[in-house]
Amino acid sequence: MDGPHDLGGAQGFGPVRFDPDEPLFSHDWERKVFGLTMATSTVGLYNRDENRHARERMPADEYRSTSYFEQWLVAMETNLTELGVLDASALRERVAEFLEEPDREVRGKDQPDLFELFRDTLEFGASLDRPAGPARYSVGDRVRAVRDAKPGHTRLPAYVRGHVGVVHRVDGSFVLPDTNAHHEGESPENTYNVGFSAHDLWGKGDHEVLVDVWESYLEPA
Amino acid sequence: MSDDAELRARVKALESLLVERGLIGADTVDQIVDVYESEIGPLLGAKVVARAWVDPDFKQRLLEDATAACGELGIGGLQGEKLVAVENTGSVHNVVVCTLCSCYPWPVLGIPPNWYKSPEYRARMVAEPRTVLAEDFGLPLGEDVEIRVQDSSAEVRYFTLPQRPVGTEDWDEERLAGVVTRESMVGVAVL
């Protein structure tokens, strides 16, 4: 889908505010959002692609006016209530309670086993590589990124749609986000690193832009 | 944008309900974040780069299969399941971005800094890298330097292998690692 997250080449943005010494988290709530996201994904309450999609389907004006970790918070609230893990009205009531009593601590049982599970995930990763058929394209092939914008989640950046590039690398096969985000199966496909010329993409520039794509995002050119 | 009091309440509400339901522990969130604050960060990537500078065989393995080469140093795992290292030279300069979200090689560089996740960086780096590098990062590249922008849009997580600074020929690996910055491994700085 055309979402507010798909920012490559979007115009109207000013300078990057680069500060090499800024902390990882500006507020304690950001730190908590990061930890909660890692905890709930370690337990497998939702998959990575539906987490991304929950951010991407925020209304565009809301996405643009919220900070990075607030977008992560919205995604957790969306997924945990939509999937029925938490009840939306119970969540609203609990928010109201903490607004009334901002100093109240979160208390409950510890779960050392869950941290051990996280440690395993951290060490061994959560790879989404899965076997698929033989790769349709080879290094050096000219390929065109498909023109259509699919309605749901996808990982094809809009700025390459319809453009012709050259396959630089074949990267193995992985779960397709387009179906996985919607619980429609893993549908593994081969993936490719494809190079596009800036002049072709933007009408100016002398650089090359390399984009990683799933096989169904491409057609022969 | 919501105010901080509201955000704090929303975060506490989520955490308290998840703890009550037994889905996570009261200790879980802090334990997980502590790992990213104390154990994982660009110092790990700096070790990889320094090793590549002193050991040409390792450098070759790194450029051929960064996942395996980093694994030799015990570096890898979550958000680094498939790593690719791209070499910056005097004639080719690579820079890494994720235009769709914030994909980043966590086991090598830690979690991404704010500027990397910012809409400005994500929007502009693919379209006008020469300008962004020169004006926003203070890295003017010569017209003869070829720029390659890598958009991490699928499963590969990228980092750049910067050039070894001149005058460090007699430095040991540990001293070399000390000069390798996060920015030089994303491609927004040279050393």
Pairing verdict, β A164-174 and A189-197: antiparallel
Residue B2 has pLDDT above 90, yes or no: no
Q: Read off the pLDDT of residues A67-122 as tens digits, 9 standing for 90 and up.
A: 999 999 999 999 999 999 999 999 999 999 999 999 999 999 999 999 999 999 99
Q: What are the residue ranges of CATH 3.90.330.10 in chain B?
A: 40-186
B77/A contact by beta carbon, under 8 A: yes
CB contact under 8 A, A98 and B13: yes
> Residue A114: left if φ>0, alpha if ψ -120 to 50, beta else—which one?
alpha
- Domain covering A142-220, topology: SH3 type barrels. (2.30.30)
Q: B40-186 has which CATH code?
A: 3.90.330.10
How do the domains of chain A map onto residue ranges? 28-124, 142-220
Closest CA to A131 of A65, A88, A187: A187
pLDDT cut 90: percent of chain A above it:
97
pLDDT band (50, 70, 90) for residue B3: confident
Q: Quick one: DSSP state of residue A129? A: B
Q: Which residue has the tokens 């040991």?
A: B172
Q: In what order do the strands lie in the sheet with B92-97?
A: A218-220, A142-145, A164-174, A189-197, A208-214, B146-151, B92-97
Q: For chain A, which ranges sit under pLDDT 50?
A: none
Q: Which residue has the tokens 């977008």?
A: A71
Closest CA to B150 of A212, A99, A117, A190: A212
Q: Read off the pLDDT of residues B11-45 as tens digits, 9 standing for 90 and up.
A: 999 999 999 999 999 999 999 999 999 999 999 99
* ipTM of model: 0.96
Instruction: Answer yes or no: B70 catalytic.
Output: no
Catalytic residue chosen out of the listed positions B16, B101, B118, B153: B101
CB contact under 8 A, A109 and B126: no
Instruction: Answer yes or no: B101 catalytic.
Output: yes
Residue B1 has pLDDT above 60, yes or no: no
Does the domain formed by A28-124 have CATH 3.30.70.1350? no
User: Which pLDDT value is given to residue B188?
Assistant: 98
Tokens at A87, concatenated: 């009840």
CB contact under 8 A, A129 and B135: no
> Angle, nearest 10°, between helix axes A48-56 and A28-43?
140
